[in-house]
Amino acid sequence: MSKILVVEDDNILAKAVNTTLVDEGFETLIAVDGEDALVKAKQFKPDLVLLDLLMPKKSGEEVLADMKKDDELRDIPVLISTVKSDPESVARCTALGIQGYFIKAHYTLDDIVKEVNKVLGEKKR
């Protein structure tokens, strides 16, 4: 059973995503800010991180950068799920290394599940 770390500071959104992923049979853990995300990523060792960008303490971009510097975390696939839609944010994240970029509100939960499955499927292969 694949493990997914849901990094989301908004309770409501975290609940919606978490509920969906659990229903889909994933094992999940929720982190509520950037620092929490890094700590939990090390402990939980997820197969995929669903990462918000605008967060307290440490932004998603910083978390991503730290992960890429960390040998343990470097290879964990990351999907960004954020309200930020500017091309610069997309470009910076892409440069650091991500598997996908969702602009919240533009995507359905179903879209996210499909993408998660796709990324994890590729990883298995």
Q: Which residues bind another protein (CB under 8 A)?
A: 10, 12-13, 16-17, 19-20, 23, 54, 83-88, 103-106, 108-110
Q: Tell me how far, at minimum, the Cβ of 45 lies from another protein, in Å.
A: 27
* CB of 73 or CB of 98, closer to another protein: 98
Name the residue nearer to another protein (CB basis): 104 or 123.
104
Determine contact, residues 63/92, Cβ cutoff 8 Å.
no
CA distance 9 to 34: 9
| Residue number, 19 or 94, with CB nearest to another protein | 19
Minimum CB separation from another protein for residue 118, in Å? 19
Between CA 37 and CA 63, with CA 16 as vertex, the angle to 5 degrees is 20
* CA-to-CA separations, 19 to 4, 82, 94, 108, 118, in angstroms, rounded: 12, 18, 28, 14, 19
